[in-house]
Structure formats: structure tokens, C-alpha cells
Structure 1
């Protein structure tokens, strides 16, 4: 049996929980170490991640320490998904999985993150910046909705890490948009995306992580 992987995380940010979903789906044993934000920029943690961000994993089974959520997901799939349950080994499907993982990291994550920053944390109100990122979030919805036309999943006929990588940022939409969230009318304007996201949220592993994240946020 594998030794547990250590997942360095914090209570609220989506990216560590994205990795946790993959670990749950793969049934890989792991323990979570929650970090205070202030400690991420200090030498003990920076020895693990010079970028001073979570997630980071330490895998005692291979001796690998790895940061960046997309790289971690690719590593977990290649190392532990021996039956390719959440990916593909065939071409072109395996490249399509990689394509969507990269879109999540370059498109969804940064735009959603900046949307959250300018709507919730920036020291002054900048309506133009807020509009810029809210419009880009809607563009991400549009891209996913279009790609999912006539399909259940992004790649092939099964749920893969390409789908699962989007979940935790999508969970942030009510927080990002606040009172404006209802105006998105996701089910009406992006029905394929809405149905897909609902399927993902109904998965047992996703439900568990959503519950764990809520409990962690309340206690940290």
C-alpha cells in the first residue's frame, strides 16, 4: 500500500482543493497540511516551493516534491492512474486532456482569480478592472459551453482530470460575483456548461472535498 502523500494547502484557495479532488478520485492516500498565508513566504516553506504558493505535494513513495497544481495533477495521473480511468493513453485524446488542463490554468484560474481580487480585495474600487475580469469569466463560460455542445465531458466519453480541474474555481463564482451572481443566469445562458458543472458537483469525491473545504474555511 502506498504511503500517504502530503498535500500542503490552505483553507480557502481553489488550487489545493483541485489537487485534493484528484487524490480522492484516484483513491490515493494523502494527508493535508494547512498553511498560514504568512508562512508561505518564509524560508521553511520556500525550500519546498520557491514561488511561495500552495499546493505543494511531497510523495514519500517516489521522493518527489512538486508544486504548481497542473503539474501535480499530471504527475498524479501518470504515477497513480495506472488504468487511465481519468485520462487517456491514446492519441489524440491524451493531448486533448492536456489542452483543457492548460486552458484551465491559463484561462479559468487567472481570470477568476483576478475577478475575485478586484471584486473583493483590492484597496480601491476599480469598476473598469472588475468589468474586464467579469467579462473574461463570462468568456470562459462561453468557451466551455460551446465545447460541450452535444457532449457530457470535455474529452471522449468519460470524466477526466480535464473536467475535474475546473470544479473548485467554479465553486468560487458566488463569492466572486456576490450580489451580481444571479445576473449570470448560467442555466439559461450557458446550458451545456451548467449541466456539466452539475454532473461534476454530484460526484462523491467532489462532494467530499466541497464539504472538507467548507469545514476547513470555518475552522481556519
Structure 2
């Protein structure tokens, strides 16, 4: 069965964006983008690069992990504000929103229904894993459906901002085990956690 994977960059103090929710990797962002970080994405997770970055880097490789991406309306609107209606045309792209009446791009599917029900249906379909790109509110709503966390842990603290899971998340202590890790030179750690205890 397909897995739902929350593949997300986080600061050391657990934030995925600043208080304004703007793109931390954008032109005015604070996120450190190192050469080793970009190269690791190109090599291991090429499908997670948005279309403009793929074009600039000459990346044509199809997804090695994911063929579907999910995001909430606020995260989606970060791209819209800079004229990018579909950052991931190479993936099936679903945006969860009860307020957007019409998709700004034919390649973007709007979902007004229950995210949990939608993800459970997606998991039953054939294909590669499903990438949850954010944000914190959608991640909180889907917490029980997340099978794997891939945290790009940046050597950075920001003090305040949008947390990994929104404050509306239910209190639900859950065990995860570290199944893989990559340490990049002058960059973040890529930490892969699977839900539950490791199997023998």
C-alpha cells in the first residue's frame, strides 16, 4: 500500500516557516540553501523540486519516491502569489481548500472534502508514495495517516513561526523510529522516521 510521507524542511526549533507563512526559501527567505542540499534533492528527490527549479537545473528525472503531492490552500497560495499556479506539473497535484471555487490550473485538483478520507482512498490506488508538502494545518489534520516523516532539519533556529504541526493538532503521543539519515556538508540533516517500532 502507498505511504503518506510528510517531506518537510524544519528548523531546529520545529518551525517550517516564519510567522507570516511566506516561503522561507524564496528570494527574501531565511532558509540556508547550500550546494550539497540542492544536489541531494536533485539526486534523491528530484520530484520535490518545483518546475522552475527543475528547469533551471536541467532536471528531467521522474519521481523516485512520489507521484502525487498534497498541499493546503495557504501553502498553495505561496506559489500563486508569484504567478506559479502549478509548481509540480510532473506530479498529480491535489490542493485541499473549502474556499477556492475554481482551480487556477487544469493540472491542480481542488479537494473540498475530508482530507483523511481522500488520503485513505489514494493509499488504495496503485502508484508511488504520496508527498504531503504542507502546511502545518493540513499535516495536523492528516497526522493519523502519516506513515513516514522525512525531515530536512536545518542548522537554524527562528524562535517563532509556523510549526511542523499546527497548534490545532490533537494531543497524541506517537512513537517513530529513525530508518535512515543523511548528513550533508554545511547543510541540513535528512532524517527519515517511520511510524511505530522497527520490525526485526
TM-score by length of 1: 0.30
The structure number with the bigger radius of gyration is 1
- Structure number having the greater strand percentage: 2
Q: Which has the higher contact order (CA 8 A, sep 6+)?
A: 2
- Structure number having the greater helix percentage: 1
